[in-house]
Structure 1
Amino acid sequence: MDLKEIQNLIKFVSNSGVAEVKLETGDVKITIRTTLEGNTPDITYVQSAPVAPVISQVAAPAPAAAPLAPVAPAADDAKYITIKSPMIGTFYRKPAPDKSPFVEVGSTIGKGDVLCVVEAMKLFNEIESEVSGKIVKILVDDMSPVEFDQPLFLVDPS
C-alpha cells in the first residue's frame, strides 16, 4: 500500500462519519479512528520492517516528490548533509510538550545525538544523528506529518 492510497483512505474515513477502520495487508496494518467533534482522524500505521535513519549527501536539487516535502536546496546547500525521516509518522521537535526542543538551528550535534521524535502507531521513535556537525536548517514544522525519506534537517559537517 503506497502513501497515496493511505492518504485517500484517511480522507474517505474522515468524510464518511465512520468511527474506526482497520486494514491489514501483508506486513502493513493501519487503524484509522475519528473523533466525533471535528472528525479528525487518529492514524495508526504499522510496518513490520525495522527502521533506521536515512542519511544522504545533498548533491543536486531534489526533484519535487511529495507535497509535504517542498524542499528545493539552493546551490550553497550542496555542501550540507540531509537527515531524512526513516518512517511515516508525526514529527516532534521536543520530547514532551513542556520540554525544550532537542535541537535548534545553530546547535552543534554529535553522532548518536537525538534530533527529534517521529511518532508512529503511538510509539515515539527517537531519531539519532549519524553525523557530527551543526544544524543549518530545520525543514519540518513541529507536530507535522512526515513521509518516509522526507528531509528533516540540513547539517553542516565541517
Structure 2
Amino acid sequence: MELKDIQNLIKFVAKSGASEVKLEMEDIKITIKTGSEKTETTILQQAPMGMQQMPMAAAPAPVAEVASAEKVEVEKTSKYVEITSPIIGTFYRKPSPDKPMFVEVGDVVSEDTVVCIVEAMKLFNEIESEVSGKIVKILVEDGTPVEFGQPLYLVDPS
C-alpha cells in the first residue's frame, strides 16, 4: 500500500463520519481514529506474530467496500490533472475576506493563472496553475491547512 492510498483512505474515513477504522493486511496494520477536529493515524508495517492471530476489529466487508469505492473515484478522476500545494501552510481561495474567489468550478485557467494563496509563516504565497484547462473540482476547504504535494484542484486539460 502506497502513501497516496493511505492518504485517500484517511480522507474517505474523515468524510464518512466513522469514528475508527482498523485495516490489517499481510504486512501492514492501519488504524484511523477521527475526533471532532483531528484525525489520528497509526501505521505499523509489520504486525507482531501474536497480533496476526487476533480477529480484526473492523468487519472485512466494509473494508472491501472502501477499497472499491476508492478505485471507482480514482478511475473517474484519472483523466484530470491535479494542482498541488508546493508548500505547507493554510489554503485560501480569496486574496482577502472581502474579495472574490480566485477560481470557481467551471472556470478556465491557463498556466499563469493564480488559483489560490497558501500562507506559510505569515507570508502569503500565490499559487499558479501548472496546466491550462477547466477547474472541475476544488479538493480543499477555504482556510484549512495543507501539506506539501497535497492536491488542491482537479483540472480537465482537454
Where on the TM-score scale, by shorter chain, does this alignment land: which range? 0.5 to 0.7
Match of 1:103 in 2: 103
Q: 1:86 to 1:69 in 2, by over 3 A?
A: farther
Match of 2:151 in 1: 151
CA distance in 2, matches of 1:116, 1:144: 12
CA distance in 2, matches of 1:91, 1:74: 23
TM-score normalized by the length of structure 1: 0.57
How much has 1:64 moved relative to structure 2?
A: 2.0
CA distance in 1, matches of 2:145, 2:10: 8
Deviations 1:30-52 (A, max 9, x none): xxxxxxxxxxxxxxxxxxxxxxx
The unaligned stretches of length 5 or more in structure 2 are 16-69
How much has 1:76 moved relative to structure 2?
A: 1.8
Q: 1:118 to 1:84 in 2, by over 3 A?
A: same
The unaligned stretches of length 5 or more in structure 1 are 1-61
Summarize the alignment of residues 29-108 of structure 1 with structure 2, pairs less than 5 Å apart.
62-65=4-7, 72=70, 73-108=73-108
CA distance in 2, matches of 1:127, 1:75: 27
Identity fraction in percent? 61
Q: 1:67 to 1:77 in 2, by over 3 A?
A: closer
Match of 1:31 in 2: none
Q: 1:116 to 1:69 in 2, by over 3 A?
A: farther
Letter in 2 for 1:152: L
CA distance in 2, matches of 1:66, 1:154: 15
Match of 1:6 in 2: none
SS of match in other structure, 1:79: coil
TM-score normalized by the length of structure 2: 0.57
Give the alignment's Cα RMSD to 1 decimal. 2.0
CA distance in 2, matches of 1:68, 1:102: 28
CA distance in 2, matches of 1:77, 1:66: 13
The structure whose residues are more often strand, as a share, is 1
How much has 1:137 moved relative to structure 2?
A: 0.2
CA distance in 2, matches of 1:104, 1:68: 25
CA distance in 2, matches of 1:149, 1:118: 12
Summarize the alignment of residues 12-31 of structure 1 with structure 2, pairs less than 5 Å apart.
none
CA distance in 1, matches of 2:87, 2:11: 14
Q: 1:110 to 1:68 in 2, by over 3 A?
A: farther
How much has 1:99 moved relative to structure 2?
A: 0.4
Deviations 1:42-65 (A, max 9, x none): xxxxxxxxxxxxxxxxxxxx4123
